[in-house]
Amino acid sequence: MAAIAPLSGIKIIDLTKLAPGPHCTMILGDLGADIIKVEEPGAPTGRRAEQGGATGKVKRVVGFGSVPTNALARNKKSIGLNLKSGPGKEIFVRLAQRADVVVEEFRPGVAKRLGIGYDVLSVRNPRLIYCAVTGFGQTGPYKDLVGHDLNYIAHSGALSLIGRRDQPPTIPLNLLADYAGGGMHAAIGVLAALVARGQTGRGQFVDIAMLDGVMLLIAQALSTYYTNDKIPRRGNTSMDGAAPYYNLYETSDGKTITIGSVEPWFYANLCRAMGCEQYITDQNNHAKWTEMQEHLAALFKTRTRDQWWEHLIKADICVGRMLTLDELASDPQIRARNMIVEVETPTGEKIKQVGISVKLSETPGSIRSLAARLGEHTEEVLGDLGYSMADIARWREEGAIK
């Protein structure tokens, strides 16, 4: 008997396009929620159309849509709805009346202007959970400002902490604001609201700001600052490249080994394993850090990354190999945890995707379907809502649906 997914029976309408929203709904879909992704049919309009410039051809700057390897689009059905049309809006409202959750990432006020905001939908469906993901949130003087991950991590203070000493900050891809501060926090907010609804019987508005989420990620750094009133200098603390025992080193094959021996016993093990017993008493002696780091750097250059890995894991040391993406699928730990999986496409092709990160013993998540084509499920979803094939054909001709 197949296990029941933890979010089985939860219906979610996904209005999102960019990283944080699709990441949120991917997490919820992996855990069993029924996701209906609402996409804009036809040629892009407004600013999206202007991206094409004089040629009129739209440059797809972000995302790769229905490509089977796109994990962010898995476990989702796709319908094409023009929300600016009468039929499109009617269909969406009917969907929302039957849904548990709506997730969107419009600028504040856009959903209300479209007539599909929480104020409208909650009246028709008091149990609805409405999650809005934005950069600065729904309130405050910056709520209408545009931005991307880099802007939010800068404003949160996080960017000031990342990088090497006497160098500009390091841009950490778009991991912190888009995925951790936005997508994951949105998923947490939706899950919390679902639990609350089980207690109160009512839904609620979930206001997720990427700025807020990133600030929570640096809670420890903020706590330290508010304790000692000292602004940390980038690259000068034990956890960001200043300490020789928490650092990365190049090996003889040009690859990288990472050392994280923070605790005194792990540090002592490192010194013994590297033949550096003379430094055992110098873990907190900052005057010795540069000398020790140079000594370790020279030692690590004498063997390959994997040779050092095999040597150091036997000595109870916090050590890690810096893997590149092409190495992940062959790593035995990643294989054992099923974090790179092979999924079969409808045509029988095998493709690789990231696996399910949340491991539940009784109600595990799963990959049930791959990225859908735009509008692939429009007829199915509208049929379930009670619309006739004649309605569907007419609205498709009018451009209200795809």
Catalytic-role residue among 148, 212, 331, 391: 148
Given pLDDT bands bounded at 50, 70 and 90, which one contains residue 56? very low
Given pLDDT bands bounded at 50, 70 and 90, which one contains residue 3? confident
Per residue in 276-304, pLDDT tens? 999 999 999 999 999 999 999 999 999 99
For the chain, the distance separating the N- and C-terminal CA atoms, rounded to the nearest angstrom, is 37
- Of 364, 359, 356, which Cα lies nearest the Cα of 339? 356
Q: pTM for this structure?
A: 0.93
Per residue in 68-104, pLDDT tens? 899 999 999 999 999 999 999 999 999 999 999 999 9
Given pLDDT bands bounded at 50, 70 and 90, which one contains residue 43? low
Residue 286 appears among annotated catalytic residues: no
CATH code (residue 255)? 3.30.1540.10
Same domain, 288 and 366: no
DSSP 135-156: SS-SSSTTTT----HHHHHHHH
Q: Which domain holds residue 71?
A: 11-217+341-398
DSSP 33-68: -EEEEEE--SS--HHHHHTTGGGTPPP--S--TT-T
In-domain check, residue 382: yes
In-domain check, residue 1: no
In-domain check, residue 298: yes
Given pLDDT bands bounded at 50, 70 and 90, which one contains residue 2? low
The yes-or-no verdict on residue 47 having pLDDT over 90 is: no
HSE-up of 307 (CA within 13 Å, CB side)? 13
Same domain, 166 and 142: yes
> Is the CB of residue 268 less than 8 Å from the CB of residue 189?
no
Residue 66: predicted pLDDT? 79
Q: What angle do CA 109, 214, 227 make, to 5 degrees?
A: 130
In-domain check, residue 291: yes
Q: Where are any strands of DSSP class E within 315-367?
A: 319-321, 340-344, 350-354
Same domain, 299 and 359: no
Number of domains in the chain: 2
The yes-or-no verdict on residue 196 having pLDDT over 50 is: yes
Residue 148 appears among annotated catalytic residues: yes
The yes-or-no verdict on residue 53 having pLDDT over 80 is: no
In-domain check, residue 332: no
> Is the CB of residue 34 less than 8 Å from the CB of residue 11?
yes
What is the rounded average pLDDT for all residues in the chain? 94
Catalytic-role residue among 14, 30, 34, 178: 178
> Is the CB of residue 83 less than 8 Å from the CB of residue 114?
yes
Q: Which of 327, 354, 384 delimits the end of a domain?
A: 327
